[in-house]
Amino acid sequence: MRTVRLDGDEAVEVSLADRDGCEEMVREVTPARRWRFDPASLVAPVRPGKIIAVGLNYRDHAQESGMALPERPLLFAKLPSSVVGPHDDIHLLPEVTQLDYEGELGVVIGRRARSIPREHAWDHVLGLTVANDVSARDAQFVDGQWTRGKSFDTFCPLGPWVRTLDEVPDPQALPITTRVNGEVRQASDTGQLIFSVPDLLAYCSRYFTLEPGDVLLTGTPAGVGLGRTPPTYLRSGDVVEVDIAGVGRIRNTVRAVGGRS
């Protein structure tokens, strides 16, 4: 497995700087090595040390969930072992009856951040990626354990790459769309966030250090299966696509699995 920078239809090998106080996370490998880019070869673009996710961070999603708007960011952890690539399968275990999607903008940390002010928050971001915060609603709500219900293996498709900030004119005005079998289920834009990316990074970094490679999932807009009437959950064979204009698109198929591997 290699880390590459995309340059037109070529992939150029880069290395990731070490995690200790690095000024930049990605450096080109010398001598430069290049290959023709093959999208099918992509795996998740980062292996996060941690994934911090935010609940109810779009006004329309808070309303469809029947919950009050949060006064502070509602944080939860998603375990890094849930990460899969942009085209990998999402596993549906036999005991899960309420498998749901959440299309989300992912923010990848590039520089260590501890107690940073909002106005410097973007300086700590390497770039943006596309995520699906897959959720087993039955496991999430039966006893209130969000981390378990959102951390099953394969519940965090990420990718297809990290789009560095210099390529994104305004990260807070990006259309985000989720489709299931081609049908639009979520359509919003990142300008609808209740807590903006700088708000979230400043808030998180007050309590714990954000390290290069960590991923912040910024919340999902309205239109999740749970919010539909009647609720509509994912079934084996369904194809879920999350598309963020200017960032990229991931496409994952739901597969029923036996539960042991």
Query: Which residues here bind Zn ion, judged by CB under 5 A?
Result: 102, 133, 220
Half-sphere CA count of 129, side-chain side, radius 13 A: 33
Q: Is the Cα dihedral 245, 192, 102, 183 positive or negative?
A: negative
Is the CB of 102 or the CB of 214 nearer to Zn ion?
102
Task: Give the nearest residue (CB) to Zn ion.
Answer: 133
Nearer to Zn ion, 133 or 241 (CB): 133
119 phi and psi, to 5 degrees? -70, -15
Q: C-beta of 55: minimal distance to Zn ion in Å?
A: 6
Output the smallest distance, CB 126 to Zn ion, in A.
Answer: 21
Query: Which residues, at least 6 apart from 188, have a Cβ–Cβ distance to it below 8 Å?
Result: 58, 60, 175, 176, 221, 222, 223
Q: Which is nearer to Zn ion, 104 or 211 (CB)?
A: 104
Compute the least distance from the CB of residue 53 to Zn ion, in Å.
5
Name every residue whose Cβ is closer than 8 Å to that of residue 52 and which is 6 or more positions away in sequence. 75, 76, 77, 78, 204, 210, 214, 215, 216, 217
Q: Which helix (H) or strand (E) holds 74?
A: strand 74-78
Task: Specify the residue, 133 or 211, whose C-beta has the smaller distance to Zn ion.
Answer: 133
Distance, in Å, from the CA atom of 222 to the CA atom of 73, rounded to the nearest integer, reads 17
Write down the least CB distance from residue 5 to Zn ion, Å: 29
CB 188 within 8 A of CB 62: no
Q: Is the dihedral of CA 160, 164, 168, 170 positive or negative?
A: positive
Shortest CB 75 distance to Zn ion, Å: 11
* Residue appearing with tokens 């995690």: 19
Considering the complex, state which of residue 155 and residue 161 has its C-beta at the smaller distance from Zn ion.
155
Q: How far is the CB of 149 from Zn ion (least distance, A)?
A: 11
Q: Which is nearer to Zn ion, 205 or 220 (CB)?
A: 220
